[in-house]
Structure 1
């Protein structure tokens, strides 16, 4: 399974150790959306078709994805998740692919601290 990460799970990010057993497939790729600073030390991605968010794609297994679900406050049955895990098209140089992405759940719908560059490391350097 492929997982697109854009915040603290990226290489150099505070939670990257969660992906120690994952395989990095692609750096410098992007997805349509807006990146917002939660002011809690991590960003959220909101659906948006006129902006992009930069990140990385990893190959993960189900066990690892389950651990990331816990980190991201995602439950398959919960409606009050911090994040919702969805499949989105990811863009890279020369091709596209599909990957799981965590986007803002109801908890963060009012978060409006836009990161215009779409790059979390512009706000929280590695």
Structure 2
């Protein structure tokens, strides 16, 4: 996970470059913009996705090194509190696959409050899906 001062975080939705919340990571160090984790990506219907750990499909995203302060901000954004039972997202450690190696990193996954989101994103890529959604709305 790095050292006590920094942490690795995999992001797959609005926190990615070009996403609506990418400003949260503007000072974070981008490790790779071409990584993936296992899971299923679902549309919450609220303008952001959720990763469900149901399958071993490839969910594409980005890997960042963040400070403890940045991690606290991400926890707030993702409505995650370690001591609370019903979080929107849970922060877990998962294997992130890179071109030439794997690393362990924090990933925000489905919490109890997002279990009913069932619209799977076939593209497994939030940014590609959003591009398709936007063009469908213009038609």
TM-score (norm 2): 0.88
CA drift at 1:11: 0.6
Counting only pairs closer than 5 Å after superposition, residues 1-126 of structure 1 correspond to structure 2 as 1-125=7-131
Q: Conserved in 1, the CA contact under 8 Å of 2:50 and 2:109?
A: yes
Counterpart CA distance in 1 for 2:73 and 2:119 is 27
Structure 1 residues 51-90: Cα deviation after superposition (integer angstroms, max 9, x where no partner): 1210000000100000010000000111110000000000
CA drift at 1:49: 3.4
Counting matched residue pairs gives 126
Q: Conserved in 1, the CA contact under 8 Å of 2:29 and 2:64?
A: yes
CA drift at 1:116: 1.3
Counterpart CA distance in 1 for 2:124 and 2:54 is 12
Greater helix share, structure number: 2
> Gaps spanning 5+ residues in structure 1: where?
none
Counterpart CA distance in 2 for 1:34 and 1:76 is 23
TM-score (norm 1): 0.96
Q: Conserved in 1, the CA contact under 8 Å of 2:123 and 2:129?
A: no
Larger of the two Rg values belongs to structure? 2
